[in-house]
Chains A and B, each alone.
Chain A
Amino acid sequence: MSTDNRLLHALYRDMRRIRSLEERVSELFVRSESAGSMLHLSIGEEGIAGVVHAMERQDSFTTHHRGHGIFVARGAEPARMLAEIAGKANGYCRGKGGSMHIADMGLGHLGANAIVGGGIAHAVGAALAYKRKKQPRVSVAFFGDGAMQQGILYESMNLAALWSLPVVFACINNQYGMGTRVDRAAANLAFDDRARAFGLDGVIVDGADVELVHETAERVLSNARQGKPGFMSLTCYRFYGHARMDKSPYRDEAEEAAGRARDPLKKARDKLIARGAKAAELDALDAEIAAEMDAALEAAVNSSLPSVDSMFEDVFAPDQPKPVPVRTRLNAILSEAAK
């Protein structure tokens, strides 16, 4: 394979793994094995693999609530991800965070966030630390178009530009903040203009074209590493509802069909085949990934739930006293022995 094809092949693989994982997240819910229904799928947004692929090993990132894809592209173990989403003890966060608060310091994942825009400033703070410690690291804040309407984003952009921090603001514009289409939430959709207004490089890129996303991200990340923070927005389409229960009553089938036609995975596959890849080889890759994700799903389902006692751990550092359980207090107040 040529270098170009090798890259696209790798990106295709990442994107297939994202979609395949998300399909198992959905299956976890259908089988009543997920912890709740607050599951936000990133199917249709697989182009973010281009950004993740452009990051260096030492870089860090924060994500929004729809961050499964980013994390799996970064190299997360699907079994531990699915275990966390199922609230199991061997999940990334010991079953305490779940889908919306998954994190892994080992992979530089500073945390998914369930407050829209909540993790953006953390990436700025991480970048401040890297700059102060003279580490050649970049922190990437991933968020959706919903966060483009949150004030802290603009405070963060201003700080990043003012202090020349190695940070990238990566918006995944999937066209929807829950059920509100982006043109009903923002008067001006030129989000790159907003970034430029703060002195950042700003670019809007077709999120269905993963090669273009990757090329753009490499440039934006490289600039950020040299103290020139940047903004990029990936235009894509959220194929399914906001969360697992959402049947999308606020949009019609024609719109969904047009949106789903802009499929980053299909586009990459078509390109690979046009460049000489064999459909059978790609099918084999897809099957291999499906088998990996099936095994991860079964491993998660078969994992143990955490012990109830563990809920009092991790409020503070391990060397600190744990919170006093309500039952212990009641016992101290009401038992005969206490009198």
Chain B
Amino acid sequence: MSAIETTYREALRQALIDAMNEDPDIVVLGEEVGLYGGAYGVTKGLIDQFGPERILDTPISEAAIVGAAVGAAMSGLRPVAELMYVDFVGIVMDQLANQAAKIRYMFGGQIGVPMVLRSQGGTGRSAAAQHSQSLEAWMAHVPGLRLAMPATVNDAYHLLRHALTLPDPVVFLEHKGLYVQKGTLDTAQPDAPWGKAVVRRAGHDLTIVTYSKMLLESLAAAEQLAAQGVSAEVIDLRTLNPLDEETVANSVRRTHRAMVVTEAHLTGGFSAELSARIHESCFDHLEEPVARVAGEDIPIPVSPPLERNAVPNAQLITETGLWLVQRKAPAWAL
């Protein structure tokens, strides 16, 4: 099949359709996944195509949705549980972190939990403090969970398809600001194998490491940096577990400067993990400390100008890049 232009949302839906056609054990369960079509429309029409036995509308019972998915995954199904907002993960954390993640280990490898928890996070819709977070660090901290965060249309499709073949639980975090993003989907050709980071833009002065929607801001910043004589390499991690440290280290050893960009809060965030690992693997190669450009340590506010400024953007990434490479301090520097 030749490549087509489509959206992130359509690519996700196509991934579900293609996977469900191939594997009759896949079921989708969650709030509003059926008749409503999903809060962000990803599962629209699936109930007509696959019926209510495979597309299960659930009550608003997040813990039981994930718990039932765990039991079903242990009993021959491959459930896709949808958590409408990642902000609700606190409600399901026991089932996710104590159950799904640990069952293979606790039971000595007898059985795995082949399920996918689809959810979405991030800012951009004035959805405020309980519907806009980037909580990947909570899940990245738990051994036993895979964690995918696609940024592109092709990755939305291929990472979800691959997640639906894995023997272990996968948390699949979409970004609400990416659903309408257009791009090229080639169902025959993933950008890279699962677990491998992709260099989205090559450069030699600076390595920007990012994932999910911050890839778009980072690429925009790289464009602005290029106009000012800075060549930035932009790496899209695609999955946080597995984490491709090698691609990152190889780049930083060449560029000698690194910036980590996340929408998630700075403190205790995945940016800290990335920074630490770059320092460890590239200590003798670094010209500057690794810069973390992350979300402010505040709840996400509702008012648009406040919300916009709570998370990084291309301008902040550009300014930080110029500072790192050219020692050109931004206007807000002391």
Chain B's closest residue to A133 (CB) is B76
Q: Is A115 in the interface zone, CB < 8 Å from B?
A: yes
Contact status B59-A122, CB under 8 Å:
no
A126 touches B75 (CB 8 A): yes
The reply to whether A121 and B107 form a contact with Cβ atoms under 8 Å apart is no
Which B residues are in CB contact (< 8 Å) with A159?
58-59, 61, 64, 68
Q: Mark A123-155, 1 if CB is under 8 A from B, else 0.
A: 111111110110000010000000000011001
Within 8 A of B (CB), among A318-333: 318-321, 323, 329, 332-333
Interfacial chain A residues near B64, Cβ < 8 Å: 121, 124, 152, 155-156, 158-159
Chain B residue with the shortest CB-CB distance to A84: B108
Q: List 23 A-B contacts (CB under 8 A).
A: A62-B71, A94-B108, A96-B107, A97-B106, A118-B94, A119-B99, A122-B99, A124-B64, A125-B69, A126-B71, A127-B71, A128-B72, A129-B71, A130-B75, A139-B71, A139-B75, A155-B59, A155-B63, A159-B58, A159-B68, A163-B56, A316-B104, A323-B143
CB-nearest residue of chain A to B54: A132
* Residue from the list B53, B54, B110, B166 in contact with A105, Cβ < 8 A: B110
- Taken together as a complex, chains A and B put the C-alpha atoms of A130 and B75 apart, in Å, by 8
In the bound complex, how far is the Cα of B313 from the Cα of A212, in angstroms?
68
| A110 and B113 alpha carbons, distance in the complex (Å) | 11
- Assess whether B67 is in contact with A152, with CB atoms less than 8 Å apart: yes
Docked complex Cα distance between A319 and B66 (Å): 25
Identify which of residues 197-247 in chain A touch chain B, using a CB-to-CB cut-off of 8 Å.
none
Min Cβ gap B78→A in Å is 10
B107 and A115 contacting across the interface, CB-CB below 8 Å? no
Q: Taking the nearest CB of chain B, how far is it from the CB of A183, in angstroms?
A: 27
Flag A107-122 by CB within 8 Å of B: 1 or 0 each: 0001101010011111
Complex alpha-carbon distance, A162 and B105, angstroms: 32
A60-B75, A113-B99, A125-B71 are known contacts; what are 8 more A-B pairs with Cβ within 8 Å?
A: A93-B108, A96-B105, A122-B74, A125-B75, A129-B71, A155-B63, A317-B166, A339-B284
Q: Taking CB as reference atom, which chain A residue is nearest B81?
A: A125
B34 contacts partner chain A, Cβ-Cβ < 8 Å: no
Q: Does B98 contact A (CB under 8 A)?
A: yes
